[in-house]
A and B are shown apart, each in its own frame.
Chain A
């Protein structure tokens, strides 16, 4: 996270732009799904008869996105080493939630058939990106925890 210092304070929130924009899109998608107003058709078809699962998916999407955004906001602020570590741990939590929900969404889209392959691959890429980023950050955290214990 050393490159953060090179950024102006107004841009530190966007130091990882893919996370921020994906999380914002997930909030916009997740809130209607959580309250049940609008649902992705592919997912509604896949989970036909399990509306509670659709609600849970929406809530998980919202929680993951909010956790990621809060974590990125906290990382951008000047803070202690423990605060930075806690914020990145929260980022991992949010990214795992986003990876899970976007994977579910990608499976549902791909299951539509050939027309869903393009959209499904993009969603699956987002899921893979989230999972990869969570893995990278969790590796850094594990190394730091080990160094702190020693």
Chain B
């Protein structure tokens, strides 16, 4: 069996060399893993803080957009309301003028009617007088 020893030793030697190489690679991977985990642990609060700041910035941006929109809406509503008041005032003035014009026309019509009544009364008086004159035999017209 003594001739087996070189074979066994060479197998063990080869295995040792291969094992050493693979163990070295494993140690490198393990070190990389530990380094990554350590840096992740260190970075975790920073990442948390960064996310918080990002969310705060987004909330601020949304708030600013909301305020801008509200201001725009307010300005639009204000302009619309001013226009509405102008339109209402213009309509009121037009209605007032129409009313005044109509009243003037009514007054003129009333004056004309009064005049007609007065004329008619005068005619009636004159006719009555003429009738009385003709009945009493007075001088005719």
Residue numbers of A with Cβ under 8 A of B are 45-48, 50, 53, 56-57, 60, 80, 82-83, 85-86, 89-90, 92-93, 96-97, 99-101, 103-104, 107-108, 111, 134, 138, 141
Contacts and interface: CB of A to CB of B under 8 A. Distances in A.
Interface of B: 1, 4-5, 7-8, 11-12, 14-16, 18-19, 22-23, 25-26, 29-30, 32-33, 36-37
Given A50-B5, A107-B4, A80 B33 contact: yes
B32 to A, nearest CB: 6
Nearest to B36: A82
Contacts of A60: 15
Given A86-B26, A100-B11, A111 B36 contact: no
B12 A96 contact: no
Contacts of B25: 89, 92, 141
A85 B15 contact: no
Contacts of A56: 12
Given A82-B32, A86-B26, A108 B8 contact: yes
A83 B33 CA distance: 6
B11 A89 contact: no
A126 B4 CA distance: 20
Given A47-B5, A108-B8, A85 B29 contact: yes
A56 B37 CA distance: 35
A139 B16 CA distance: 19
A139 to B, nearest CB: 12
B33 A85 contact: yes
B137 to A, nearest CB: 143
A41 B36 CA distance: 48
23 contacts: A46-B4, A47-B5, A48-B1, A53-B8, A56-B12, A80-B33, A80-B36, A80-B37, A82-B32, A82-B33, A83-B37, A85-B29, A89-B25, A90-B26, A90-B30, A93-B19, A93-B26, A100-B15, A100-B16, A100-B19, A107-B7, A138-B22, A141-B25
Contacts of B1: 45-46, 48, 111
A56 B16 CA distance: 12
